[in-house]
Homo-oligomer: A and B are copies of this chain.
Amino acid sequence: MTDKRWAYEDFEVGASIPLGSKLVTADEIVEFASEFDPQPMHLDEEAGRASILGGLSASGWHSCAMLMRMICDAYLLDSTCQGSPGVDFAKWRRPVLAGDTLSGNSTITTKRLSQSRPKLGFVTFRYELFNQDGEAVFELQNTAMFLRSEPS
């Protein structure tokens, strides 16, 4: 038995878990981009406006990282998560601009027990993030591994 709230059994296919909201500041955008993605539209307001993104916009990888933190805070840190083999897809649908507030949800699409490790199960999630105008800005799907609460 685990004392974590979210074990494999607690994720119900079809259920949707709300993620908290996240204000994206210009400083955060520039700080992330300076280290990992120093393209002009992620570093400078004017370069962003001149680009097809239309303003100082977060690196798509920054959006991934912010989503991960939102997932951690919503349930993952209080779960039996054992990591993830990867990402099925990610879609950067609209720019994430300085001053945007992101919110979203995590929906369980499928789950299955591990064939080789009886204590483990795989849960697939579809994540969606929206901006303050309700526009879909980011979508991602991946699978994470969780310990069972009552291994057979």
Q: State the A residues within 8 Å of B (CB).
A: 32, 35-39, 41, 51-53, 59-61, 64-66, 68-69, 72, 76-77, 81-92
Contact = CB atoms under 8 A, between A and B. Distances in A.
Contacts of A39: 72, 76-77, 81
The count of identical subunits is 2
A106 to B, nearest CB: 15
Given A36-B66, A59-B68, A68-B36, A86 B91 contact: yes
Contact of A88 (B36, B41, B64, B89): B89
B89 A86 contact: yes
Interface centre among A36, A77, A91 (most CB of B within 10 A): A36
Nearest to A28: B35
Contact of A51 (B37, B53, B68, B83): B83
Contacts of A32: 65
